[in-house]
Every structure is written in structure tokens, then in C-alpha cells.
Amino acid sequence: MAAALDTTLLPDTAVVTATDIVVGGCSLTDLAATYGTPLFVYDEATLRARARAARGAFDDGVAFASKSFLCGAMAVLAVEEGLCLDVSTAGELDLVLRAGVPAARIVLHGNNKTDDELRRAITVGVRQIVVDSFGEIERLARLVPGHNVDVMVRVTPGVAAHTHEFIQTGQEDTKFGFSLATGDAHLAVRQLLAIPGVTVRGVHLHIGSQIFDVGSFEKTVDVVAPFLHEHGVAELCIGGGLGVAYVNGEVTVSLGDWARSVRSALARHGLGHLVLTAEPGRSIVAQAGVTVYTAGTRKRAAGRAYLAVDGGMSDNPRPVLYGSGYEAVVVQRPLAERTTTYRIVGKHCESGDVLIDEAWLPDDVAPGDLIATPVTGAYGYAMASNYNRAPRPAVVFVADGVARVVLRRESLDDLVRLDTLLA
């Protein structure tokens, strides 16, 4: 709809003037001039506020889902704000260990963990391993003896959350977890209890991502409550998945309300004593991040106005993967009326390389204008690729008028570093 950008989509500290957007006390125009575009800008105050809200809402053990956005600075910030970190691969585990995250603050996930991943997690002494398959239990039986390991059992509750099919994970037909309905979850607990050194600490659930209806989480608690009673577990991790607003008009639930709704569902089942944890990713980092692009080619085709920017599906594959929507705003004229729709496309060799299918922008948007897409802090950089040999953008954290590069822009030399002929 032709309306000004809803500025509540911007990071908490954003100040919008007629000629600029200032985040964390830093002008997006100046940041683009200094660091180039595309550029990811994260507002540290927003990251910290969301992390603190998560820690305040849930019990100790609430973990930042590092898959949503991870680098050394983010790992340090999450720990400083009292969060654990959930990791799903050797790469994520290695990064958080290098960043100095204590092993006792790390939770290992993964539906296809390798022996090496399990061995490293066991050796360094991670807080918990979230067990996902019978094959993994067999391997734990080989690898754990001589160590003590706390585990969570990932249970598939058979609840289809109201969200995109590719990010639903709680339904029966999924690669994740042990089915409650078939009895696999019970069998998994029994097998784990038989392994010396293994303590079954609790149950883990993750029903999907970008969920706005807390009723989906409450329904899940209703489904797993008898299982939680039967096995007398100490902790329930409700996973991640809380939705965030990406476009004008979307209404979200706070981290606090999410936790309260799950707690009251647990209390209704006499399970109010359980340690309640979660693994929010998107709800911590999405709104903190803004991507700044430079506008290039403008053209009309089949009656449609196209605007190309200097990034695309390589720095934000979500629109291609899930048809996700975003807003766009011209940084130098953020208050100008957005009267015309443009299809904002990237520079990649795919017709599908669309960032925003129908973005409202001022009619006079021109090559050289800076285009910002708010709410791009989650699963953008984290899913970035080098498609078409595109260097990954730089990432800066901004706070109190100071910008620090936390991930430098990839150079053309970086792009050939693995090429045995050219490096």
C-alpha cells in the first residue's frame, strides 16, 4: 500500500530525518560511504535489548539460535547478555568456542551430527546435546563412556504451526526429532537412560519459524504434557520460532508474552515447576539489522517498474526460498511519499533474483540512491552465498555513534582463496 515506511520496523535507536536514517547514532549515508554497499548494519542496542528480554522471559539456559546470524562479536554479545548459544554444525561450534563462549553455555543440535561433531562437543563438555535420531543414540553409546553428558530429546509433537511449509518442523512428516505419536520419543528416552554417563535433562521442541500465533506453542504443550509427566524431566525447551514483523501492518508478540503463554500452558498441566528455556534466533537479531544497497539499473518491462540493486539473492535468499516480504526505503529521502511500486531485483543471473516483489518507493528513485531494507538481521548474512562470485558484504555493529566492522567485506582475493590454480 502507498504509505510511508512504518518506522517501528527499524532498529530501536533509529532516528529518521528528511534526508537520512540514523541508527545507533550513525548515519546510514555515512556508513555506506565509508564501508560501501551492500552493507549490513546492526544496532547493538536492539540486539542487547532483545537478548535481555529473552533472558528475562525464560529460565537460565535460554539460547540464542546462532544459525540466524553468527560471528565472533555476536557470540560475545549473546554471552554478555546471559544467553547460551545453540549450534548445529562443527563450523558453528568451532566459531563460538574460538569466540571464547564457555562450553557450559553451548547447546549442540543437528539432525545428522557427525562422530567428530559429537566427539568435540562431548570432549569440551557442552551444556547439552539435543538428540535427534536413533542412529545418534547408538553413536552416543560408543562415544560417551568416560564422560558425563546432559541430553535433551527432540520430540516431534505432530503440531503443524501456522507458517511457511519449509519452516514448519513440528509436523509428523519431518526430518527432525522423535515422533511422539509412534512411541519413538519414549523409546529414545529409554535407550538414552541406559547409556552410562548420559543424563536425560529434558525435552526439546521446535515447531517452526516465523510463528505469530502463540496458540501453536500452547497446543504443543498440551500435546507433550503427558510425556513430560511420564518421564519426569527437569526442562522443557520450546525451541525458537517467534515471528517478527517484516512489513507495514504486521503485529508481533513480545518475547515476554511468548514465555508467559507457554508458562501458563505448562501450569495448566501441573508442570509449572519445569525449567523453561527457548532458542530464539530471528526475534533477537532480525529487527536489529538493516541492509543498505545502492540502486542501479531502472527499467520498465511488461508494464512493471524494475529497480536493480548491487546485492540480491546472495545476501538475502529468503524471498527466493520462502517468498518473504520486506519493505524498502530510500535512505536519503526516507519521509518522501512512496507512491510507485517497483520490483526490486538483485544483480544475479536468475529471473527469480527478486528481493521485493512489489516495493513502494518514491517515483523519482534513481541510480545512486541508497535503498535500505529493514528487518534483515536474521537469515540474511547467515544464508549469504558467493553466487556469481559475489563477495559477501561487510557487517558493522553501531552503538553510541561508533561503528565497528565485525565482518569485513570479502575481497576478490578472498573469493579465489580455495582455488588451487589461482590462489
Catalytic residues: 349
Indicate the residue among 168 and 373 with the shorter CB distance to ligand PLP.
Answer: 168
User: Residue 318, interface with ligand PLP (CB under 6 A)?
Assistant: no
Torsion over CA of 259, 260, 261 and 263, rounded to 10 degrees?
80
Q: Does 282 bind ligand PLP (CB under 6 A)?
A: yes
> What are the backbone angles phi and psi of residue 377, rounded to the nearest 5°?
-85, -15
Q: At what angle do helices 90-98 and 72-80 cross, to 10 degrees?
A: 70
The C-alpha cell that represents 172 in the structure block:
509428523
Using CB under 6 A, which of the segments 48-56, 65-73, 358-366, 368-376 binds ligand PLP? 65-73
Q: How far apart are CA 403 and CA 35, in angstroms?
A: 10
In the complex with ligand PLP, the residue whose CB is nearer, 206 or 347, is 206
Tell me which of 209, 324, 373, 376 binds ligand PLP, using CB under 6 A: 209
Q: How many of the other CB atoms lie within 10 Å of CB of 75?
A: 25
Least distance in Å: CB of 333 to ligand PLP?
Answer: 32
**Coarse DSSP helix, strand, coil percentages of the chain, rounded to the nearest 5 percent:** 30, 25, 45
Write phi, then psi, for 57 (nearest 5 degrees): -85, -35
Report if residue 240 touches ligand PLP, rule: CB under 6 A.
Answer: yes
The amino acid at residue 258 is W
The mark string for 68-87 relative to ligand PLP (x by CB under 6 A, - otherwise) is x-----------------x-
Q: Does 65 bind ligand PLP (CB under 6 A)?
A: yes
- AA identity, residue 176: F
The distance of closest approach from Cβ of residue 95 to ligand PLP in the complex, given in angstroms and rounded to an integer, is 17
Range in contact with ligand PLP (rule: CB under 6 A) among 62-70, 228-236, 322-330, 414-422: 62-70
- The distance of closest approach from Cβ of residue 97 to ligand PLP in the complex, given in angstroms and rounded to an integer, is 19
The string of DSSP codes covering 265-308 is: HHHHTT-TTSEEE---SHHHHTTTEEEEEEEEEEEEETTEEEEE
CB of 219 to ligand PLP, least distance (A): 17
Which residues from 111-130 bind ligand PLP, rule CB under 6 A? Answer: none
Q: Does 373 bind ligand PLP (CB under 6 A)?
A: no
Does 220 engage in binding with ligand PLP (CB under 6 A)? Answer: no
**SS3 state at 362:** coil
The Cα–Cα gap between 156 and 150 comes to 20
Q: Does 283 bind ligand PLP (CB under 6 A)?
A: yes
Kindly state the number of chain residues that form the binding site for ligand PLP, as judged by CB under 6 A. 17
C-alpha to C-alpha distance for 129 and 144, rounded to whole angstroms: 11
Binding to ligand PLP by residue 287, rule CB under 6 A? Answer: no
Give the nearest distance from C-beta 128 to ligand PLP in angstroms. Answer: 12
**Nine cell digits for residue 181:** 505419536
Should residue 132 be labelled a site residue for ligand PLP when binding is judged by CB under 6 A? no
* Choices 213-221, 239-247, 334-342, 384-392 (CB under 6 A): range interacting with ligand PLP: 239-247
State whether residue 73 is helix, strand or coil.
helix
Backbone torsions φ then ψ of 374, nearest 5 degrees? -70, 165
Residues that bind ligand PLP (CB under 6 A): 65, 67-68, 86, 109, 206, 209, 239-242, 279-283, 378
